[in-house]
Structure 1
Amino acid sequence: MKQIRLALALTLGAVIMPAAAVAQGIPVAPMEAPPQTGAIPLGTGAIPDMPAESWFTLAGRSTVRNVSTATLLPVLPDKAKATGAAVVIAPGGGFIMESMEAEAMKPARWFADHGIAAFVLKYRLDPTPAGMDAFRSAALARFAAAAAMGAKGGADIAAPAAALADAQAAMRLVRARARQWNVDPGRVAYMGFSAGAIMGTDLVKAAAPGTMPDLFAAIYPNMAATTVTENAPPLFVAVASDDELFGKQGYALPESWRRAGRPVELHVYEHGGHGFGFDGKPGTTSAGWNAALLGWLRAHGWLTR
């Protein structure tokens, strides 16, 4: 299948891109980089000629762009409730930004509250202009291209090589330090939102040693068909039927799992659009979708020791 990367413009919480958000009157503003105490460099290298890492808020939610070096931030449960299960979380943002609150830290805290060790992946990104105005223009152009792609039904989409390498390094690191974090190396899940979900699909497709998730939750992912290996993990998909980017693709991604004889669970919400975030979009049927995720985790034993 034809692979398309530069046309991507994926999620940022309740809206798709900052440029689109600005056009809708949703506030976007620079912010100081928050403390990232405990973040572990993944050692996968740096993006050459990358402008300085820049943080901003989108409707009050922290977001980052121009990430040159990847890190992994542990968010660990209280030892009394720890189940031994773990999850690597990769936020979305079209590979030019990452929604660090709505699609990373918020679900990480939720997992930890349920006894699951969470690890937030801040992966390397494509460079964007240093100035906010130029960035907005670039983001809007990418959003328009992605919306046009989605209207045509889309195509197979590959994660950038750097981002995929970061996801693979994150999976290996969690397993390598499993004893330190009281984690079972055979119970390491991966959850990705939009661009992060595309990385997860590529993790499964690549099937590199030590990197295959034991569970894979894909939240509003690209829905195109993919190669599914015989040891592919159980798949959970949550998507809205009115998704502006992937809503016209059908359901070939979960169908690929089904045809390969691998476990799959699909939740399609009538309304929610693309980027409904961890809690879903208020006032739509996507609200509270994570209750379904909780049930799926429970069914696979992720909530018990």
Structure 2
Amino acid sequence: MTRVPAQVDEGAIPLIDPEAVGANTEIWTSIGTERWVRNVNHPTLLPVLPDPEKANGAAVIVVPGGAFQFVSIDNEGYPIAEWLAEQGVAAFVLKYRTMQTPVPEEELSEHIQRIFAPTPDMEPIDAMQGIPAAVEDAQAALRLVEAQSEDWGIDTDRIGMLGFSAGAITTMAVTLDESDAPKPDFIGHIYGPMTSVDVPADAPPLFTALAADDSLFGRQGFGLVDSWVAAGKPVELHFYENGGHGFGSYKRGSTADAWFDQFVGWMTARGLMALPEPE
């Protein structure tokens, strides 16, 4: 793990007044195959808009994972948004607030171990403490996209969210929230928890994908899908033989490589990719 310069996305829109949260504390760390954005306290939303000739009016807020300790922006952020834009979908990369991690990279491995595999002499870290801030930022992103929908050529009935791992947890929490906060019109839940939930009456169509050899959620069963089915809500499940956790934009020669094409196919079949009717 090595420190790398922070990438400045000129088009990123702040979701919180920077003056209200103080100096930007985020750190960009390379792990060799991708960069992680850590210690985020200035959440942003980056529009990645399609060519106007391809635009179909649909929008997707992309919520990367990272155990609420970092944002996996190179694997589950930028490339996913670019793929969506190529399909005519207005995409938005959410860089949400994360929990604090040690500043020195040499201390980061032990920090991650305290979350997933703490030894008896370690004080465990509950990563779920990061959910509230991520949810607030995701809800702010939905409000922003809805507010700017006319400028971006977006149909306000076709604004979805696509979350990966911790991003899938965030997406589901936004969907299940009982307040009057905005909700997505459809959701993609990629290698997130599969435990059962209480499905609200206005639950949106759900696309979920998971690999059988996912070390975190691969052996939880399919309670989430059963919950959607029992509630009479549309759901599509793709359960791959292999692919591990975090396949995202990686191509590893497994059937999980096909998840994005299948997600687009699902959106198409549901009419979410249809061009708007001429007035």
Residue 54 of structure 2, aligned match among 77, 81, 92: 81
> Do the aligned partners of residues 122 and 54 (structure 1) sit closer, same or farther apart at CA in structure 2, a change above 3 Å counting?
same
Q: Deviations over 1:137-173 (max 9, x none)?
A: 101222315xxxxxxxxxxx67521111001111111
Structure 1, unmatched stretches of 5+, are 1-27, 146-156
Mapped to 1, the partners of 2:272 and 2:17 lie a distance apart of 29
Structure 2 equivalent of residue 12 of structure 1? none
Query: Contact between 1:44 and 1:165, CA under 8 Å: does it hold in 2?
Result: no
Match of 1:287 in 2: 257
Computed over aligned residues only, the root mean square deviation of the Cα atoms, in angstroms, reads: 2.0
Residue 227 (structure 2) pairs with residue 256 (structure 1): yes
Structure 2 residue 106 is the aligned partner of structure 1 residue 133: yes
Partner residue in 2 for 1:244: 215
TM-score computed with the length of structure 1 as normaliser: 0.82
Q: Equivalent residue of 2:47, what SS?
A: strand
CA contact (8 A) 1:192 1:219 kept: yes
CA deviations over 1:21-44 (Å, ceiling 9, x no partner): xxxxxxx32211112111111127
The structure 2 residue matched to 1:268, chosen from 234, 239, 250, is 239
Contact 1:226 1:256 in 2 (8 A): yes
1:212-239 residue CA offsets vs partner (Å, 9 max, x unmatched): 1111000000111112111111000000
* Paired residue secondary structure (2:149): coil
The CA distance in 2 between the partners of 1:197 and 1:50, in whole Å, is 28
Aligned to 2:38: 65
Structure 2 runs not aligned, ≥5 long: 119-127
Tell me which of 87, 90, 97 is aligned to 1:124.
97
- The answer to whether the Cα contact below 8 Å between 2:247 and 2:256 also exists between their aligned partners in 1 is yes
Q: Structure 2 vs 1, CA of residues 159 and 121 (structure 1 numbering), >3 Å: closer, same or farther?
A: same
- Give 1:187's match in structure 2, choosing from 154, 158, 166: 158
Give the aligned residue type for 2:54: K
The higher relative CO (CA closer than 8 Å, separation ≥ 6) is in 1
Which amino acid in the other structure matches residue 61 of structure 1?
E
Contact 2:21 2:42 in 1 (8 A): no
How far the C-alpha of 1:303 sits from its partner, in A, is 2.1
Whole-Å separation in 2 of the counterparts to 1:59 and 1:290 = 24
Alpha-carbon distance between aligned partners in 2 of 1:232 and 1:79, rounded to the nearest angstrom: 31
Q: 1:211 aligns with which of 182, 187, 191?
A: 182
How much does 1:247 deviate? Answer: 1.2
Q: Conserved in 2, the CA contact under 8 Å of 1:279 and 1:288?
A: no
TM superposition shift of 1:302: 2.4
**TM-superposed deviation, 1:209:** 3.2
Q: 1:167 to 1:46 in 2, by over 3 A?
A: farther
Q: Measure how far apart 1:59 and its partner are.
A: 2.7
Q: Please state how far the C-alpha of 1:48 moved relative to its aligned partner.
A: 7.2
* Correspondence for 1:94: 67
Percent identity between the aligned chains? 43
Once residues 183 and 91 of structure 2 are traced to their aligned partners in structure 1, the CA distance between those partners, rounded to angstroms, is 16
Letter in 2 for 1:113: E
Length, aligned pairs only: 266
TM-superposed CA distance for 1:52, in Å, is 2.4
Q: Report the TM-score, using the length of structure 2 for normalisation.
A: 0.90
